[in-house]
Amino acid sequence: MRGIMDNTDLLNLIDITVSFEGFLALNKLNLNLKKGELRAVIGPNGAGKTTFLDVITGKVKPTKGEVIFKGKSLVGRKEHKIARLGVGRKFQSPRIFENLTVKENLEISVTTPKSPLNLINKSIKDEQINEIERLMKIVNLAQKVDSKAGSLSHGQKQWLEIAMLVGQKPDLMLVDEPVAGLTDEETDLTADLLKSLSGENTVVVIDHDMEFIRRLDSNVSVLNQGTVLCEGTMETIQKDQKVIDVYLGRPED
């Protein structure tokens, strides 16, 4: 059985079922992530990729099943509690605070503790300022510190959001289509960035872009109709008959 706990596992999804009015968005999905792993998740439209992220981050409560993160169950916890436990999420289209500057966006993400009293009473810690500067250099936004985030280009917004994700220092990073709308060059840079993050962090990347996934050079899980169809390296996946059927259509159907 898959559901058995493994000590090195950071996250276990056990028999997750999500039903919207009888429509099964996820159907007995099982998935395990090791600490420090980089994992790509692919699947056709409607395979349940985003719902899968919604379940982990607490936006959607699974109808059945269990989510174990660092030995704790996440089911029924509020989103902000899950985030504080160490799950960070980057959204499909960049969701940054457009009316705040780049620096203010990053401040929001690196600040700890995230209580109102801390925010209103104390000024930001030195090491947090250093962290912000480091992040801005990594994502090439150092010149844009005081620009409104809304004035950034699409690619810069994507990167700012990734920087915010990193600044949160999560143990698990969930990255939803980070290269949508990016140029080829930016795509390559993003792939390298994500690769460099794994090892220290555990990263899950969801995307359609096969070239990008190949460049990540990681294990791949294929989602179809709300369940994991198969797992393995890019080569094994591409040879798998079930995957070929899903993507190219089954002759007998």
Partner 1 sequence: MELLLDSLFNGVAIGSVLLVAALGLAIVFGLMGVINLAHGELMMLGAYTTYVTQLIFKLPILKPFYNSYIIVSIFLAFIVSGVVGILLEKTIIRKLYGSPLETLLATWGVSLILQQFVRSVPLAYGTGLVISLLIALFLPTIFPLKIKESINFKYYKFSTWIFAALTGVLTGSLISSSVSKLSRASARNVDVTAPSWMRGQVEIIGTTFPKTRLMIIVITLISVIAITLFLNQSAWGMRIRAVTQNRQMSDCLGISTEKVDIITFGIGSGLAGVAGVAVSLLGSVGPNVGGNYIVGCFMVVVLGGVGNLLGTVFASFGIGIMTDLIGAGRLLSIWPDMPLPLSNTINFFATTSMARVMIFALIVIFLQFKPTGLFPQKGRMVEN
Partner 2 sequence: MSFSKIKFDKKIVLSFWIILIALIIAAPTLLPVFRLNLLGRYLSLSIVALGVDLIWGYTGLLSLGQGIFFALGGYCAAMYLQITSSSEFPNNIPEFFALYGVEKLPFFWEPFRSPIFTFFAIWIIPALVAGLIGFLVFRNRIKGVYFSILTQASLLVFFNFFNGQQKLINGTNGLKTDVTQLFGQMVGSESMQRIFFWITAILVIAAWFFAKWVVKGRFGNILIGIRDDEPRVRFTGYNPVIFKTIIFSIAGGLAGISGALYTVQSGIVSPQFMTVPFSIEMVIWVAVGGRGTLLGAILGAVFINYAKSLVSEALPASWMFIQGGLFILVVTALPEGVLGWIQGDGPRNLLQRFGLKRKIETYPSLEVNNNEGNNG
C-alpha neighbours within 13 Å on the C-beta side of residue 22? 0
- In the list partner 1, partner 2, none, the entry touching 233 (Cβ below 5 to 8 angstroms by class) is none
Q: Site map for partner 1, 12-51, x if CB under 8 A? A: --------xx-x-x--------------------------
Please give the single-letter amino acid code of residue 225: Q
In whole angstroms, the minimum distance from the beta carbon of 124 to partner 1 comes to 32
- What Cα–Cα distance (Å) separates residue 213 from each residue in 199, 201, 241? 17, 18, 19
Pick the closer one to partner 2 by CB: 36 or 46.
46
Pick the closer one to partner 2 by CB: 6 or 79.
79
Matching residue, tokens 């959001």: 161
Binding residues for partner 2, rule: CB under 8 A, are 46, 49-51, 57, 59, 78-80, 83-84, 88-89, 91-100, 104, 107-109, 111, 114-116, 119-120, 123-124, 148, 153-154, 164, 168, 176-177
Q: What CA–CA distance (Å, rounded) separates 7 from 9?
A: 5
Residue 230 pairs in a beta bridge with: 222
Closest CA to 138 of 187, 93, 89, 197: 197
Pick the closer one to partner 1 by CB: 39 or 77.
77
Find out whether 13 and 32 touch, Cβ atoms under 8 Å: yes
- In the list partner 2, partner 1, none, the entry touching 61 (Cβ below 5 to 8 angstroms by class) is none
In whole angstroms, the minimum distance from the beta carbon of 98 to partner 1 comes to 16
Q: What CA–CA distance (Å, rounded) separates 125 from 219?
A: 38
Q: Rule CB under 8 A: which residues touch partner 1?
A: 20-21, 23, 25
